[in-house]
Each structure stands twice: as C-alpha cells, then as structure tokens.
Amino acid sequence: EVQLLESGGDLIQPGGSLRLSCAASGFTFTNYAMSWVRQAPGKGLEWVSLISGSGDTTYYADSVRGRFAISRDNYRNILYVQMNSLRAEDTALYYCAKNRGYEGLLSNFDIWGQGTMVTVSS
C-alpha cells in the first residue's frame, strides 16, 4: 500500500526552526518528485515546495523561499523540509504529497499524507 507519514509538527515560537519529515512506503521513492503543501486552519491549500526524484532540483513558493529548505534521503525513503525564521503566517497543517512524475513539473499530486501541524506562536 502506498503511504506517506508526516511527523515533526510542533508549537514553536516566532523566529524558531523546525524540521518536518515524511516517511514514504509502497512505491519506488527515488522515481518520483515530492512536494510539501500546507493548509492554514480553516483555509485553502497552498503549495510550498517541490523536489525532483534525484533531489538535484528544488523549487519554492515566494512565501517561504530563503527560509525553508526541502531535501530527501532516497536510501531511507524520507522527505524533509527544514523551516527557519518561522512566522505566525506559517501556522498550518503541512502535507507531503507524491508527484506523478520524476522531475515534478507538469505533474499533479496523486498521493497525500495525513499532515502534521505546525503552530507558530509566542
């Protein structure tokens, strides 16, 4: 069964850092690009970041560029996002999502994890 399991969400003070993880199983992880998508409480969906299957290429939404860093461990089948300089507006449920293709461009999300909650508040 294809599965994505996020972890690492927490309550963190503004300006703090946090690393989220997403453990993948049930598919050949290295063959697919992966993304992070977030959803603020009661709001819609916002794409955050994309990484290619090899991990060589990364993309970011303007709202997080320079503060977040996406990475992956293709040996352990884990996706990460390192989040620095966190702001109140980063408060959201963070989903990892599998892209349909290897590079990620022109590919939708076909599998989603259950999400991990990040709350940025003093």
Distance CA 12, CA 19 (A): 11
For another protein, the closer of residues 1 and 75 by Cβ is 1
- Candidates 29, 32, 94, 95: give the one binding another protein (CB under 8 A): 95
Q: Is 57 in the site for another protein (CB under 8 A)?
A: no
- Candidates 47, 67, 74, 102: give the one binding another protein (CB under 8 A): 47
For another protein, the closer of residues 47 and 102 by Cβ is 47
Distance CA 17, CA 3 (A): 26
The residues near 117 (Cβ < 8 Å, ≥ 6 apart) are: 9, 92, 93, 94
Sign of CA dihedral 90, 52, 101, 97: negative
Q: Is 117 in the site for another protein (CB under 8 A)?
A: no
- DSSP per residue, 58-100: EEE-TTTTTTEEEEEETTTTEEEEEE-S--GGG-EEEEEEEES
Q: Is 62 in the site for another protein (CB under 8 A)?
A: yes
Q: Is 27 in the site for another protein (CB under 8 A)?
A: no
Q: Is 105 in the site for another protein (CB under 8 A)?
A: yes
> Number of residues in contact with another protein, rule: CB under 8 A?
21
Contact residues for another protein, defined by CB under 8 A: 44-47, 50, 59, 61-62, 95, 100, 105-115
